[in-house]
Amino acid sequence: MKYLSNKNGFLGVDNKFSFKEKVVVIPFGLEKTVSYGGGTRNGPKEIIKASHQVELYDEELNCEPYKKIGIKTLEYFKIDKNIEKALKKMSTINKKILDKKLFPITFGGEHSITPGCIRPFVKKYNKICILHFDAHADLRNSYNGEKFSHASAIRRCLDYNNVSLISFGIRNISESEISFLKKNRSKINIFWAKDKSKWDLGKFIKLIRNKTVYLTFDVDGFDSSIMPATGTPEPGGLLWDETLNIIRIAAKNSNIVGADINELAPIRGFNSYNFLVAKLAYKILSYKFLI
């Protein structure tokens, strides 16, 4: 695996700083099945670029987390136009990272990357729980004739018998997905956006406790007022502080073993959205390793 220099990678750390990495960032700008707004192929580069403006000191954790974590970023590489070949490559990359006992975090690209990301985790662990942030359930069996669509990302993950699901922020779902949900209530728990004021996070703690967790974050899980830079922005979503609280709870009560962040479609001249996602990634890693 070839890495970018510290200065050009995630967070833009000085090249003079030396550390043994625990985390590998994978830029994977797959864009094949978007069905509304486009531009997710540019997400990874803009997240990394924006991360150079993120303050390295975390006032909540009272330290510079990157020094205790060690983060390297893979060099950019060509992504196959065939989605199944692209997902196979994603799986191969994550397997190599897991074999080195490192933590992979992928920057997409569209949400269809997740079934590829999770494949080596499914093989490595007896049971794995997906912690899923999204406006959409992504439980369709296919969309526009494509079973590996971004709208089917979580359904493809649930094709594996050892995968369960906890979703936060869902507020856009089809009738066919409701039918699938009803048939699979034993392995799916949804914290609906419409019930946000009544969420029982004590229940969430019980659901997540001692689980092996893979975190997937579609940025349209955020409310469209703070995250319009995505293909399908939705009102009524998550805000910053409540999102961090959920991730903090997960980090305290479970073993997060990998992650992806997807569906950022950068808007020229509006860097605050790219910055938000870069800071989210840093917080996820900081909570994982320091809480």
Span 224-241, pLDDT tens digits: 999 999 999 999 999 999
Q: What residue type is 75 in one-letter code? A: E
> In whole numbers, what is the pLDDT of the chain averaged over residues?
95
Give domain status of residue 9, yes or no: no
**The whole model's pTM is what?**
0.96
Q: What is the CA radius of gyration of the chain?
A: 17
Half-sphere exposure of 62 (CA within 13 A, CB side): 1
Q: Number of folded domains in the chain?
A: 1
| 8 within domain boundaries | no
H-helix segments, the chain: 43-51, 65-69, 83-99, 114-124, 153-157, 175-183, 201-208, 240-253, 271-290
> Among residues 88, 79, 247, 276, which one has the least CA distance to residue 168?
247
Least confident segment among 9-23, 90-104, 155-169 = 9-23
In a domain, 225, yes or no: yes
Q: Would residue 282 count as lying in a domain?
A: yes
pLDDT band per the 50, 70, 90 thresholds, residue 34: low
Task: Indicate whether 36 pLDDT > 90.
Answer: no
Residue 34 lies in a domain: yes
Write down the pLDDT at residue 168: 98
Does residue 257 carry a pLDDT above 90? yes
- The answer to whether position 252 is within a domain reads yes
Domain that includes residue 284, residue range:
23-290
The CA distance from 69 to 22, in Å, is 6
pLDDT recorded at residue 150: 80
CATH number for the domain that contains residue 93:
3.40.800.10
Asked if residue 102 is part of any domain, the answer here is yes
Does the residue 211 lie in any domain? yes
In terms of Cα–Cα distance, which of 221, 267, 287 is closest to 50?
267
